[in-house]
Structure formats: structure tokens, C-alpha cells
Chains A and B, each alone.
Chain A
Amino acid sequence: MQLETAHFGVIDVDEDEFIYFPEGIPGFENSKRYALIGHDAKDSVFFWLQSVDMPELCFVVADPFMIYEGYAVDVEDEDVESLEITDPNKVITLTIVIIPKNINEVRVNLKAPILINVEKKLGKQVIQKNESLPIRYYLSKSN
């Protein structure tokens, strides 16, 4: 399918690769379908989560395990159910990246990672109960 995006112009995405977020993402409840772009590039920490339903909506996402040592995600039973997880190896975890004008303030949300069942193409942003995980984790301070 030809997908019109604000960020990349018109791109060609295989509809079978769309990831369905039944509840959307808080703040963008009406956008249910996304495409992961650039995730197959092995050496990249950052890549894109482009909305199919809202062309102007594109997130930069990152692999939290490469950013925060010892990061762990608790997956609640209800999320296992709603994401139809049968094989944990088929689940990828992403963190949304916020990029303010000042690049030193680039931060990620470790409190609410995005889980994607790549097998079933289902996604959800889950809120972690772990109180020590910050909503704003600044990358520049981590080094």
C-alpha cells in the first residue's frame, strides 16, 4: 500500500506488516495502525513508528534495553491476553523518544514502553507499575 506520510512523503508499505493498536496510543486514541520503519537495520538504536491512520503522526522509538542497562518489563496477564502473546521471543519492546530542539534534552519514556507482538502484529503502550522507572529518562545524563 502507498502510504502518505508527512515525514517520508509517499512510501510503500506492505499492509501485512501494519501493527494494530486496538486502543491506540494515549493521546492518539484514533490512530490504530502503525508501521515500523527502519527496525531491520541491525546497528540502529533509533527508528520510526509511523501512523498509518494519521500521516502527520510519526514517533521516534528506540530499543530501551540498549539505552538503559538492566531494563526489565513486567507484562501483565491482561496484556499477554490482549496482545495474544504465546511466544515471548516474538515480542519486541520499544520506548518512545522525545526530541526537543535541544538535543541534550532527548529523553525516553521508560515508564510506558510499547510492546509489539510481531507475530500477531498487535501493539500496546503499557504502563509499568515499577515506581522507579522514569517517564522522562534523559539520554545525555546516562553517559
Chain B
Amino acid sequence: MKEAILSKGRLEEFLGAMGNTAAVYAPVESGQNIVFGAVSGPGAASDGVRSLRLGASNTRLSVKGLFFPQREPLFSFRDDAVKAVAEPKAPLVAFGVRPCDAMALTFLDKVFGPARVGSLKHEDPYYLARRGAGTVISLGCNKPCSTCFCTSVGGHPFGIAGTDVLATELPDGSLLLEAVTEKGQALLDRHAGLFSAPSSAQLDDKGRISRAAEAAVRPVHAADAKARADAAFDSAVWEALTSSCLGCGACTFVCPTCHCFDISDETGGNGEGVRLRSWDSCQYPLFTAHASGHNPRPARRQRMRQRVMHKFSYTPETAGMVSCMGCGRCVAVCPVNLDIREIVAALGAKP
């Protein structure tokens, strides 16, 4: 079946059934935040599904951490002997991913995925192993947030890019599941016993919800952002709009597409150690500091410019897409309310 209905009372059963073959992650409440946590299968508490918080607007941290963890051992070593860390291949289901986050995965696929540059083949086995073993079930956004702007950057509250199954919450509380990829189709087939066929009224409901959500997303002036950004590299706009930046990395860490990392060795002092990859941020002065002491981006506003330029000017060239998904997380978490929407809209304008 390409489309299926999961009735309201059977969600826990569905999550439990998927947990028999995979670690199932979904939005849960943890501390004061909604984040992705294990709800079923390996790593989940026996009552993990109870902590599910599907109704929340969006998770504080994006789904990227499930495929590109903040801290990842690459290999271990002892003196000169290197021991590979097994590539992560355990099956994983990410459930309740918002379409902006799912679309972000299509960008990360380009960053970490197979690519050829001249005679060199680039691919990141760690990321690709997780992606290959992962299934993404996204949940369309019936109620976009005031900070959302996906429709201005190529997304949609019910977009299907990067997802295997798109779920829509219908007015009767049931979930309409639509297979987007073969992998998604296989998952639906595996659990076919839990579903019923949608009525035409339910399919109509979905169309209506999707159109209403699209209309509710506040547009941002992001058209020609690349041309405007390129022309505004030395503009006073940057100073006017980014002077208040504190230089923390909150925006980059919550971002679903920021992917810069650092590599460091953690050693025990006895010749043993682990080489780690961990998230880094272009907002930190050390990110571009040269060994000579020179730093090409010494000021915070230059580093903020880099973040915006990277998303709106550089990746359209290198990856063929704007790498801001319009999720609005950076807008929401910035301690000084620095707003990428305002910056992008102001590029090319007189400050």
C-alpha cells in the first residue's frame, strides 16, 4: 500500500513493532526540551513511548545528530597500531522528523555522500552507514511556528525531500502515512497489519491541511539571495545587523545543516587513544585561527557573515542548493535575537 491510515490508538503499537527490528527515535521531552530520544527498540526504556511528544512544534536539536553525532570515534590506536571503529550499521528509524529536517538530510547527503573531485573519491563511511541503515518518517507541520520560513528556501511544511514516509496528523487524530521511497514502502508493507486504507475524505483532509499550513508560513525575502549576498560581501549591512553577536555557537549547533567538525585525539598517556570527530562552529575564533596567529575572520560579524554566506551563496555553488532549511531554530535560540531572516532580507538594501 502506498498510503495507509494508522488509527489514533495504535501509534504506540506501531512504534513498538518497529522497535523489534530497529532503534526508534522520536521527539521526547528531556529536561526542559523536546529532543530526539529512543522510544522503542535498542537503547529505549521499556516505557519509552510514554515520553513521546509529537505535538511539539519542533525539536530543540535537529535530527542531524542521529546521523552525524556530536562526538564520534573514528578509530582507536595504540602506539603505531590503528584499530578501526566498526562502522555503525544498526537499523534506525527516525520518527516524527519535521520536513525541514528531512530536507536537511538531502544536503548532508551531498556533504558526506559519494562525490568525485578530480580523481579523488570523497565519502564518509560513518555518515553513510547510518543513513543507509536509517529510515526517516517525517511528520508534516499542521501548525508552522512564527519563526518558520521553509517555503522561502525551497521547502514546504509537508515536503517529502529526504524522507521515506510522510505522516500527516488528520483531524480525527489518525496518521495518514504515505510511502515516498522504496525503503518507506517496505516499512509500511512490513507493518501492513496495523493499517487500514485511507478514505477519499481523509486524502482530501490532507490536501486541505497541507495548503493551510503552506499559507501559514510567513514568507521571507530570500529570492536572489545568492546574487544579493555576493554583491553585499563588504556591505555595512553586516555591521548593522550582526554587531550584537556574542560569538557563541548555539545557532550552528541547533542548525540541521551546519556540519563543520573538528578532529582531535584523546589519549590516555600510555600510547593509547581515540581519534574523535566532534561538531565545531564557524562562530568560534579558533575555527579559522592559523598557526601563525593570523586569523582571516577575527571579528564576530565576519564569522556571522560566513555562516550566512555559506548557506545562501557558497553551497548553491558547491552543492547546488541553499543550505538553510528555514526551520527557524537559530532565530529562536539566539541569546541576542540575531535573526537570519532579517539579514537575508536586508542583503542588498541600504543599511
| A-B complex is real | no
What is the interface of chain A, defined by CB distance below 8 A to chain B? none
